[in-house]
Amino acid sequence: MATKKTKKETETVAPKATTAAQTQSEQPTGTQSATDLNIGDLRNIALVIDVASTRGAFRANEMATVGLIYNKLQAFLAKVAPEPKAEDAAKKTETPTATGK
């Protein structure tokens, strides 16, 4: 004996559309999603690759691939890293002068 399904049982509910503002307001401020990557994360990845290669974690036949990825990551970081402000750069290059007092 076949059972009859009602219209309500066979309908699918469409997901509620959300805007980016709604999504951001739902997340607590100051926290990141588990899938967010930032420049600091990429710098840490480069550091992990450097430490792992120093400690011999990679086989000889893997070194070329690891080095290629590391070089690409370093080039990307150099390209997207914020440039130091002019006054910060000037402070770093200034040398303190000794006064005769």
Q: What is the pLDDT of residues 3-14, one digit of tens each?
A: 555 554 444 444
Average pLDDT score over residue span 18-34 = 51
What tens digit of pLDDT does each residue of 59-92 get? 999 999 999 999 999 999 999 987 666 666 566 6
More confident residue, 36 or 71: 71
Q: Is residue 70 part of a domain?
A: yes
Q: Is residue 46 part of a domain?
A: no
How far is it, in rounded angstroms, from Cα 47 to Cα 41?
Answer: 10
CA dihedral of residues 62, 64, 67, 68 (deg, nearest 10): -120
How far is it, in rounded angstroms, from Cα 6 to Cα 17?
Answer: 26
Model pTM above 0.85: no
- Residue 67, domain extent: 58-83
3-class state of residue 55 by DSSP: coil
> In this predicted structure, what is the pLDDT of residue 4?
57
- Enter the tokens of residue 2: 């076949």
> In this predicted structure, what is the pLDDT of residue 81?
81
Average pLDDT score over residue span 29-36 = 71
> In this predicted structure, what is the pLDDT of residue 14?
45
What tens digit of pLDDT does each residue of 41-63 get? 999 999 999 999 999 999 999 99
Q: Is residue 98 part of a domain?
A: no
Q: Is residue 45 part of a domain?
A: no
Residue 52 and residue 44 in contact, taking contact as beta carbons nearer than 8 Å: no
Residue 85 and residue 51 in contact, taking contact as beta carbons nearer than 8 Å: no
Domain count, the chain: 1
- Enter the tokens of residue 3: 């059972």
